[in-house]
Structure 1
Amino acid sequence: MPHVLGSAIGTSFQTWLRRHVRNRGEVPKFPETESEIAAHKQAVRSIIEKAAGPTPEYDPLIPEIHQVHQRDGYRIEAVSFPTFGGLRMTATAYVPEADEPVPGILAVHGHSAHGRRDAKNQQRCIALAKSGYFVLAVDAIGNGERSIELPGYYHGGNEAAAMLLTGYSVFGIQLHENYRACDYLISRPEVDASRLGISGASGGGNQSFYSGAWDDRFSAVIPVCSTGAYRKMIGTHNCMCETPFGVAGSLEQYDIMAAIAPRALLVISARVDNFSFRFEDAESTMKKAARVWELLGCPEKVAFESLPVEHGYPPAARELALGWFNRWLKGAPDSDPTAEPAVLIEDYATISCYPSADSSQVLTLPELFVKKREEVMPKNPEPRMEQVRELFGTPSVKELDMEPITRLPGPVAGSIGTSYLFHTDDGIIIPSITYWPDYSHTADSALLMVGSSKDDLMKSPLVRQGLLAGKSVWLVDLPGLGESRLPGEISEHIERILNIRGHISAFRACHLLGLSLGGLWIGAAQSLLARLSETAKQVSLAAFAGPATVFLAGAGLLEGFERVMVFNPLASYRLGERFFNLHYESFIPGILKIGDIPEVAALAAPNPLTVTAPLGHDGTPLSVSEAADVFRPVIKRYEALGRRQAFHLVGEAEANSLLLTELIS
């Protein structure tokens, strides 16, 4: 199918999103005088707290040392300790031989297959221990020995998205667990609690600067290959652990960095890195952040270095970090790069808490999801419409200008096509391929179709059925989909590697800004309805792929459609503890706090609603009897309103014949 404008539309959506950076909600004034610094720092902390969730009630700090190995000048301990909510952090302590307390370093990792046990993580930890630092290397939630599958598994896929359903996030869990890890670090008699540092690369670098801004106990902070600018991260692919809700709507990264002052901050970037961590952006970010250290009279305590290396924590970065720690945690006269000592990498079993285990021995992300799902869900959910509006960010209807672009041949004899652009005053562009049943270019009824792309929609028999029934058929790419796909959206190759599907970069960009991607889609659908209704007396909506679940859950907000039809939506978030083969946008943040999909979808009554071949947690269609059981709340509400005939629950086998009948009628 021909594009209307091609990649330009995805770029325009990216531009629209980036205009929201540090431009939504309460945006703190960046300090211009020393007297303004405290208020700015408090504002930054409040925004981080809102994104992470309130500080949890920590479990009693009762650690367990699983094994100990003596080495030349230091010893290794495999240790675990509780954090909160039944979670237990697996860790390795590298303890130097010393006669008095030494500085402590919290070593956080990025997206390596084996978490803290990864050879590159071991390298820097052992080198620091041999240089006189007590190092606590921890496994982040869903990584290393805390993975769903051992020896390691990506934690930012559907498991991270599922946590959002409950109002919790991997970002928040990491922030609060790192705080608890610091508690454990200072509980050790070998550690001088007044001399603490934190460092990591990539996702570990993000953890470092967020924890550094959050926890004043860290005297020295070194994020590596993780800094850039939110305005450039928006629209690119990163992990959900690096995506705190709403932070980029109120802050830029220089705000986060500035909140670390007057403590010592060294930011290290690679000159060969992905677009999220461009060294040019990091340099600009740090140039602005450094003004706060200047106002405080300690400009020597902040530095930025870019290295001619690739993404990671390479030797040159480790030497810079060691010099920085030596100056600010040991009192060395300068922070010159310091050569690290030679190290011996350990076998995984030597540093494991559970070396003989073939599965995780601590609470995993899916198990935590099940636990939180039960905690947050109302016992007898009766969601209200205002709660659903809030869930989707109060979708707004915008006036759409419509511009015809070109004529196209129709898929049915006698039909004709036209490509259109819909656009709003604030820069949203929605491309459409429209087919008319005849050359009059008019029809009393219209069928609006949305899905992953116009190309996919064209494969649906609904296109032909609609035209034969005398309807105009509008194939539309909503923001972030099809032609509107962000330039930095993940590829199918990466989807296969990470076992995820959908439009993750669009979902993540909206989440980072405090927007709802689903809310944008609902608002766009209502805006399109308003425009199509100028010439069509009746407009039906058919949603496929990721939008199907969004429009099912948000069906109560879709007013004025002749009928809303959703195909292969996720039926429920309660049918399993893990999710497979589902679009990322099917996970609606916070929904379980008001109810499951059927309870929320029931608010569509009494308006006509058809649900076709809904999916279970594994991405396969439910049987008719299973679906009827899951959608009992919807059926009951339609019955209570005397409109049972307006709700159709259709099995996979019956879909085509029933839909044809509906369209003709």
Structure 2
Amino acid sequence: MSHPPLGNLHPSISAIAEHHPPALSFLNPQFTDLHAWRKTARAKALELLRYAPPPVRQDPQVIEVVDKGDYVREKVSFASTPWTRIPAYVLIPKGLGAPAPGIVALHDHGGYYVHGKEKLVETERESPHLIAYRRSGYGGRAFADALARRGYVVIVSDAFYWGERRLDLQQTPPELVKEMQRRAQFKTGVAGVNETYSLLEELVMRHIVAAGATWMGILVHDDRASVDYLCSRPEVDGERIGCVGLSMGAMRANWLFGTDPRIRVAVSVGWMTDWRELLPEHIARHSWAQYVPGLTGWLELSDVAAMGMPGALMVQQCAQDALFPPIGMQRTCDRLAALYAKAGLSERFAYRFYDAPHQFNVEMQEEAFAWLDRWLK
């Protein structure tokens, strides 16, 4: 017989979860008006994210332009706060006769911090590690490129702590880095660097919380800044914006869809399980970046995504995904179906389980793209 990871403490924690149901869920009978509920729920969700920097001019800069044949890849940067600039790729199809729909493509966590946006965008002189990673997680396809070839203007930015925004280990106390490398059991090369970053996540989270914010708050704010930039482009129709992501990218998509009314459609791949469903066995398998203290007393993750109604949402789950309990994935999808049904919007929600491990393979991508086409074209 297996025991919960926290042993004798589990009953107390389980009782806390049971006695703190989400007070602002749209499924609660006191909520009948979708618009009024969404306004209240979004305000609480944004409050819990604890991150509201002052407005700033984005001051966009184009760093590089590469002709990719049927589309152009720009590398850009723009400000999201007075203290932050975000590096991103923007993919622009050629031959646009009118403003096109836009997609915010959101990269994953994957324990792979060396790259962020490059996971989804094909670049020159790619490392074997990146190619292998994309093969295992994305069927070998840079799906942002596939979306550009389909006629979408696509933006892919580096999340805080990934890619060009990762921690500079050269500016980190050497004794701390050595300790993390020791804990990484002497892994070398890219694997060792990624393991070191993974072990440092807890320290980063402590600093963010001590500073008065949440890591998820930073991610959501910056992703909304990506929407700002995308909508500022003359090639983009700001009334037709969607988002899609795998894993942590799906978590980012859930929050972006729920908090930004400009997002008309979302595809959430491999991260749609309510937090309570992860207790007790699966909670430790997820990054510090994704926790929002106090959230579940007000909203479950499915409620956060449902704040995007009347926007259209597709959830793709992987039946062999070891990061989530199968029954938890199913119950959360059923709960989302109930949320959309209560709003009279059942046709705007879809979910499917795939007989695959944690990934966004080409078959899944094609079905996701068809969903985006349905609501944006």
User: Within 1, Cα distance between the matches of 2:38 and 2:8?
Assistant: 33
Deviation at 1:280, TM superposition (A): 3.1
> How do residues 524-543 of structure 1 correspond to structure 2 at under 5 angstroms?
none
The answer for the alignment partner of 2:254 in structure 1 is 209
Deviation at 1:44, TM superposition (A): 2.5
User: Within 1, Cα distance between the matches of 2:327 and 2:276?
Assistant: 13
> How do residues 121-140 of structure 1 correspond to structure 2 at under 5 angstroms?
123-140=142-159
> How do residues 106-121 of structure 1 correspond to structure 2 at under 5 angstroms?
106-111=104-109, 112-113=112-113, 114-118=115-119, 120=134
CA 1:23/1:218 → structure 2, altered by over 3 Å: closer, same or farther? farther
Deviation at 1:170, TM superposition (A): 1.4
Deviation at 1:54, TM superposition (A): 4.9
Whether the aligned pair in 1 keeps the contact of 2:22 and 2:296 (CA below 8 Å) is no
- Structure 2 runs not aligned, ≥5 long: 120-130, 170-189
Whether the aligned pair in 1 keeps the contact of 2:54 and 2:81 (CA below 8 Å) is yes
User: Within 1, Cα distance between the matches of 2:25 and 2:220?
Assistant: 25
The answer for the alignment partner of 2:100 in structure 1 is 102
User: Structure 1 residue 282 and structure 2 residue 339: aligned?
Assistant: no
CA 1:10/1:22 → structure 2, altered by over 3 Å: closer, same or farther? closer
Whether the aligned pair in 1 keeps the contact of 2:107 and 2:248 (CA below 8 Å) is yes
State the one-letter code of the partner of 2:56: D
Deviation at 1:167, TM superposition (A): 1.0
User: Within 2, Cα distance between the matches of 1:130 and 1:26?
Assistant: 42
Segments of 4+ moved more than 4 angstroms: 6-9, 150-155
Deviation at 1:211, TM superposition (A): 1.2
The answer for the alignment partner of 1:18 in structure 2 is 14
CA 1:25/1:55 → structure 2, altered by over 3 Å: closer, same or farther? farther
User: Within 1, Cα distance between the matches of 2:317 and 2:217?
Assistant: 25
State the one-letter code of the partner of 2:220: L
The answer for the alignment partner of 1:224 in structure 2 is 269
User: Within 2, Cα distance between the matches of 1:317 and 1:84?
Assistant: 35
Deviation at 1:117, TM superposition (A): 0.7
User: Within 1, Cα distance between the matches of 2:52 and 2:18?
Assistant: 25
Q: Identity over the aligned pairs, expressed in percent?
A: 26
Partner secondary structure for residue 159 of structure 1: helix
Whether the aligned pair in 2 keeps the contact of 1:225 and 1:268 (CA below 8 Å) is yes
In the superposition, the TM-score normalised over structure 1's length comes to 0.46
State the one-letter code of the partner of 1:91: A
2:69 to 69, 72, 85: 72
How well do the aligned residues superpose, as a CA RMSD in angstroms?
2.5
User: Structure 1 residue 295 and structure 2 residue 342: aligned?
Assistant: yes
Partner secondary structure for residue 156 of structure 1: helix
1:311 to 337, 358, 363: 358
User: Within 1, Cα distance between the matches of 2:315 and 2:100?
Assistant: 24
Whether the aligned pair in 2 keeps the contact of 1:22 and 1:248 (CA below 8 Å) is no
Partner secondary structure for residue 135 of structure 1: strand
Whether the aligned pair in 1 keeps the contact of 2:273 and 2:302 (CA below 8 Å) is no
Whether the aligned pair in 2 keeps the contact of 1:37 and 1:292 (CA below 8 Å) is no
Rg (Cα) greater in structure: 1
User: Structure 1 residue 84 and structure 2 residue 81: aligned?
Assistant: yes
The answer for the alignment partner of 1:144 in structure 2 is 163
Deviation at 1:207, TM superposition (A): 0.6
Deviation at 1:220, TM superposition (A): 0.5
User: Within 2, Cα distance between the matches of 1:206 and 1:109?
Assistant: 10
Deviation at 1:12, TM superposition (A): 4.2
The answer for the alignment partner of 1:545 in structure 2 is none
User: Within 2, Cα distance between the matches of 1:21 and 1:46?
Assistant: 23
Deviation at 1:38, TM superposition (A): 3.2
CA 1:26/1:7 → structure 2, altered by over 3 Å: closer, same or farther? closer
The answer for the alignment partner of 1:241 in structure 2 is 289
CA 1:299/1:232 → structure 2, altered by over 3 Å: closer, same or farther? closer
Partner secondary structure for residue 256 of structure 2: helix
Deviation at 1:213, TM superposition (A): 0.6
CA 1:321/1:312 → structure 2, altered by over 3 Å: closer, same or farther? same
CA 1:307/1:115 → structure 2, altered by over 3 Å: closer, same or farther? same
CA 1:252/1:188 → structure 2, altered by over 3 Å: closer, same or farther? same
The answer for the alignment partner of 1:268 in structure 2 is 316
User: Within 1, Cα distance between the matches of 2:5 and 2:304?
Assistant: 32
Whether the aligned pair in 2 keeps the contact of 1:269 and 1:279 (CA below 8 Å) is no
- Point out the more displaced range, 266-275 or 28-37: 28-37
Deviation at 1:29, TM superposition (A): 5.0
Whether the aligned pair in 2 keeps the contact of 1:254 and 1:288 (CA below 8 Å) is yes
The answer for the alignment partner of 2:122 in structure 1 is none
User: Within 1, Cα distance between the matches of 2:21 and 2:319?
Assistant: 34
Whether the aligned pair in 2 keeps the contact of 1:48 and 1:244 (CA below 8 Å) is no
Deviation at 1:290, TM superposition (A): 2.0
The answer for the alignment partner of 1:541 in structure 2 is none
Whether the aligned pair in 1 keeps the contact of 2:72 and 2:91 (CA below 8 Å) is yes
User: Within 1, Cα distance between the matches of 2:15 and 2:157?
Assistant: 37
State the one-letter code of the partner of 2:272: T
1:481-512, Cα deviation, whole Å (9 max, x unpaired) = xxxxxxxxxxxxxxxxxxxxxxxxxxxxxxxx
The answer for the alignment partner of 1:30 in structure 2 is 26
User: Within 2, Cα distance between the matches of 1:245 and 1:30?
Assistant: 20
In the superposition, the TM-score normalised over structure 2's length comes to 0.79
Deviation at 1:81, TM superposition (A): 0.7
User: Within 2, Cα distance between the matches of 1:145 and 1:329?
Assistant: 31
State the one-letter code of the partner of 1:179: R
The answer for the alignment partner of 1:252 in structure 2 is 300
User: Within 1, Cα distance between the matches of 2:5 and 2:253?
Assistant: 36
User: Within 2, Cα distance between the matches of 1:241 and 1:253?
Assistant: 15
Whether the aligned pair in 1 keeps the contact of 2:264 and 2:311 (CA below 8 Å) is yes
Partner secondary structure for residue 41 of structure 2: helix
User: Within 2, Cα distance between the matches of 1:55 and 1:223?
Assistant: 25
Whether the aligned pair in 1 keeps the contact of 2:24 and 2:298 (CA below 8 Å) is yes
Whether the aligned pair in 1 keeps the contact of 2:98 and 2:235 (CA below 8 Å) is yes
User: Within 2, Cα distance between the matches of 1:257 and 1:193?
Assistant: 21
Deviation at 1:161, TM superposition (A): 2.1
User: Within 2, Cα distance between the matches of 1:81 and 1:300?
Assistant: 37
User: Within 2, Cα distance between the matches of 1:156 and 1:199?
Assistant: 24
User: Structure 1 residue 183 and structure 2 residue 179: aligned?
Assistant: no
- Point out the more displaced range, 204-213 or 229-238: 229-238
CA 1:176/1:12 → structure 2, altered by over 3 Å: closer, same or farther? same
1:164 to 209, 225, 231: 209
Partner secondary structure for residue 241 of structure 2: strand
User: Within 1, Cα distance between the matches of 2:340 and 2:11?
Assistant: 32
Q: How many residues align?
A: 325
User: Within 2, Cα distance between the matches of 1:219 and 1:295?
Assistant: 19
> How do residues 439-458 of structure 1 correspond to structure 2 at under 5 angstroms?
none
Partner secondary structure for residue 151 of structure 2: coil
